[in-house]
Amino acid sequence: MAKRLNQMFCEQQIIKRYLCVTRGVPDNLEGIIDIPLEMGRCEGKERMVLRPEALEEYKHKVKSAKFAKRAVTQYKVVSQYGNAALIEVWPKTGIRHQIRVHLGFGLRCPVLGDHKYSHLDKIAPQKLTADMLLALNVRQAKVRHIPMHLHARQYLLPSTG
C-alpha cells in the first residue's frame, strides 16, 4: 500500500489542498505560481529559493537547470481582513517547502509564523503590521513564538477499484 501511495504522489494522482493564513494579501486573488525551486543558502543555512530563470532553461533543456526543480502551486484567496488573507492552496508538484517559498518569495505574502521564508535576505522573525499585532494580541518582540499557520486541509485519493 505504501509503495502504491508513493507512486500516486509521484504521478500527481493525489490532490492535496491546504489552508493558510498569510501576512499580506496577494495582488491577484487567485492564480498559478509556476516558478522552479532549488536549494540555496542564507546566513549559512540551507533553504529553498526561487529560480525563475530555470523556466526558459527547462524549455531549451540547458544543463544549468539540473538542480532546479519545477514547482507549480495554484492558490485562491478565500477571505481577507486588513493585511491578512486566508488562502486555499493546491500544490501541483511536491517540492520541499514549495507552498512556503511560493507564497513568501513568489507572492511576497508569507505564511503567518513562517520566519524562514519571510525575508529574502535573512532568516528572522516576521515584521507584522500594527493591526495584525492587535488582532493577534501579541507584541512584535513575541512574534517569533507564533506557530506557522499552514494546515493540510484535504488529500483526495483516486479510486483504486
Cell for 42?
Answer: 542564507
State the DSSP string of 73-135. EEEEEEEEETTEEEEEEEESS--TTHHHHIIIIISS-PBTT--TTS-SS---PPPPPHHHHHH
Residue position matching grid coordinates 498559478: 32
Helices (H) and strands (E) in the chain, counts: 4, 7
Residue 159 in 3-state DSSP? Answer: coil
Question: What confidence score (pLDDT) does residue 60 get?
Answer: 45
Antiparallel, parallel or unpaired: β 45-50 and 72-81: unpaired
Asked if residues 112 and 21 have their Cβ atoms less than 8 Å apart, the reply is yes
Question: What confidence score (pLDDT) does residue 131 get?
Answer: 92
pTM over 0.75: yes
Rounded-to-integer distance, Cα 12 and Cα 44, Å = 33
Q: What are the pLDDT tens digits along the chain (161 aa)?
A: 778 777 777 777 788 899 999 999 999 999 999 999 999 989 989 999 998 876 565 444 444 455 789 999 999 999 999 999 999 999 999 899 999 999 999 999 999 999 999 999 999 999 999 999 999 999 999 999 999 999 888 777 777 65
Cell for 6?
Answer: 508513493
Antiparallel, parallel or unpaired: β 15-23 and 30-34: unpaired
CATH of domain 15-155: 3.30.2350.10
Question: What confidence score (pLDDT) does residue 115 get?
Answer: 95
